[in-house]
Amino acid sequence: KCFFVFASSHVGSVSMRRGSLRMASSPIIGQGKLPVGQDPSELFDVCKHPGFPPSSVLEKGFGAETTGAVKARGLVHRDGDWHRAVHVWLVDPAGDVLLQQRSADKDTNPNLWDVSVAGHIGAGDEGLETAVREVEEEMGIGIDADKLQHLFNIVSSFAGETKHGPYQCNEIQEVFLVRLAELHQDMAYVAHAGEVSAWRTEKLSITESALLSGDSEYVPRSRAYIEAFFAAARRKE
């Protein structure tokens, strides 16, 4: 089963009973003036080489040592500097995972289905606070930090071409899991234009098979990432 919520320019209400999620307590940053896609001038901390090859699965705290330098997103991707990002996967009690369809305005992987919520870690920020903020900004809901389970860090390296030119994206990705107390179908998710086109839910097994087979409708992930995430998602709390 699946359901879709298409892009909206405002934040709707969210009705919850058990308190794992709540309506955002403050207006979404830039609401009504959201950037299209992303801002190439956004500042990132430049990290040292993680010391592990791409697709290496690491424990929390490994592979994300900063150099002290700060650069704009566009320059980081142009120069292939190592930087940090967060991924947040939302799974409900029925074993359904929430996927986002990336906006057509995204400079990388536009229109593809991806992790529930993702975002870069800005200069001076930490992974957990970024994950909480990204959920609020992309979905219009607040989530308590203690509901995010840090699963692992993973080394990611890939190259491509955007409207801004070629890029080399070298990331240390911090991967989190949220186990919802409610079914996705009972939620009032909002998709913000410029970031997310729609939401979709799938059984974990369907998403896993699609990623392992390299389905072109999904943002590709390494086998190491796929195996680590789905093994963790199926474990009992």
CB atoms within 10 A of CB 23: 15
Positive or negative: CA dihedral 110, 210, 204, 188? positive
> Is residue 195 over pLDDT 50?
yes
CB atoms within 10 A of CB 56: 18
Of 219, 31, 180, 26, nearest to 91 by C-alpha is: 180
pLDDT tens-digit map of 72-115:
999 999 999 999 999 999 999 999 999 999 999 888 899 999 99
Integer CA distances (angstroms), 168 to 108, 154, 162, 225, in order: 11, 17, 11, 19
- Number of structural domains (the chain) is 1
Q: In terms of residue numbers, what domain contains 83?
A: 5-30+39-234
Residue 186 sits in a domain whose CATH number is 3.90.79.10
For the chain, percent of residues with pLDDT exceeding 70? 84
pLDDT tens-digit map of 134-160:
999 888 888 999 999 999 999 999 999
The predicted pLDDT at position 194 comes to 82
| pLDDT band with cut points at 50, 70 and 90 for residue 29 | very low
Q: List the single range of 18-27, 85-94, 220-229 with lowest mean pLDDT.
A: 18-27
* Angle at the Cα of 64 from the Cα atoms of 115 and 92, rounded to 5 degrees: 25
